[in-house]
Amino acid sequence: EVRPHFFTAVPRILERMYERLLDERKHLGALRRRIFDWAIRLGERYPYSGERGMPLDYFFKRVLADLLVFRHWRKRMGGRLRYIAVGAAALQPRLGRLFSAAGIDVREGYGLTETSPVIAFNRFEPGGVHFGTVGIPAPGVDVRIAAPDEQGEGEIEVKGPNVMAGYLNLPEETSARFTADGWFRTGDLGKMEFKRFLRITGRKSEVFKTTTGKFVAPAFVEQQLNTSPFISQSMVVGLNRPFVAALIVPNFTYLESWCMENNVHWTSAPYMVLNPKVEKLYRRELERLNEERLGAVEKIRAFMLLPEPWTAEAGQLTPTLKLRREVMTRQFEAEIGQMFDLSKHQIREADDDTAQSP
């Protein structure tokens, strides 16, 4: 039996842990389910960054949530787990907050093989964490944002003793990755927040331009979509198209609970995603995300729900669970075409008779 105090993981591991907790929710009675949902909502609002004390009202609510819910979670995870370090892909901030509120501090970091491999990380010490960022540059590592735009976003460049000398016997590739003054080009886009915390917003090579002439970083938009508890995976498309659209894999554990509570009947995932009430639910959820999290050029104007999750075994994801965009674009060519064909999947004003999301 393994009962760790600490482990490292990719974000998908935390997502699966969360999905297992949601699966247990389905077997609770009505009162315990309401308490469970309250604890999750409380955890997702976890305000503590370590710089100042936690608000007193939140502190007492968290103590109660720990007594009723969170301590049982820790017991299911071995009873001794206190710290998780996450990397290789973007972590949903709400999950970082939720696990931390439950007494399991989650910290996200960032780096590349060429940087040995750490560039920045959130600290476990007071004042060293901001959820949604990859943390503070490591000691001795300098980070700058090259040619930042009006939002302060640009390519992340790094200098320090951790940066490689070059690629073996590949002088041209080495030269292309370094600036004239010796900074390493990461190929990632980002910006500095709260003066010293680095936020990743996408890959420079993945940025596409719509027919309106606007540039969109799909990874950033996907991060915002995946903050929804109803969305497990998403892929944003829009290259040489008039607007941005998204393929979406629902969080079926969460969606099943919603269907049960709203008298939506289904026999399997393919039937679930075709249900008109489910489609209206996701349309409203995307309208909310458009309003709260996305800029004018990033807003999702069309979507399609898919019945099966994407996996590395199927060739849709890399070993670190990042999207293989070219493979996915070919595989879902027909579905992508439908979204841009002025179809029913486009987002518009939702009808008032939709069942309410929790």
Taking only the tens place, the pLDDT of each residue in 261-299 is 899 988 889 999 999 999 999 999 999 999 999 999 999
> Each residue of 138-185: pLDDT tens digit?
999 999 999 999 889 999 999 999 999 999 999 999 999 999 999 999
Residues of the chain with pLDDT > 90, as a percent, come to 76
- In 3D space, the residue among 12, 29, 23, 45 whose CA is nearest the CA of residue 322 turns out to be 12
Radius of gyration of the chain (CA): 21
- pTM for this one? 0.80
Residue 63 — φ and ψ, nearest 5°? -60, -45
* Amino acid present at 155: E
> Each residue of 22-69: pLDDT tens digit?
888 888 898 999 999 999 999 999 987 655 678 899 999 999 999 999
> In the numeric block, which tokens belong to residue 349?
């004003």
Q: How far, in Å, CA of 55 to CA of 1, rounded?
A: 38
Q: How far, in Å, CA of 291 to CA of 299, rounded?
A: 8
State the pLDDT at residue 80.
94
> Each residue of 92-149: pLDDT tens digit?
999 999 999 999 999 999 999 999 999 999 999 888 999 999 999 999 999 999 999 9
> Each residue of 215-240: pLDDT tens digit?
999 999 999 999 998 999 999 999 99
> In the numeric block, which tokens belong to residue 125?
């010490």
Domains in the chain, CATH or no CATH each:
6-107 (no CATH), 133-201 (2.30.38.10), 207-339 (3.30.300.30)
pLDDT exceeds 70 at position 352 = no
Are residues 37 and 24 in contact, defined by beta-carbon separation less than 8 angstroms?
no
- In 3D space, the residue among 189, 194, 215, 184 whose CA is nearest the CA of residue 295 turns out to be 215
**How many beta carbons lie within 10 A of that of residue 189, not counting itself?**
24
pLDDT exceeds 50 at position 209 = yes
pLDDT exceeds 50 at position 349 = no
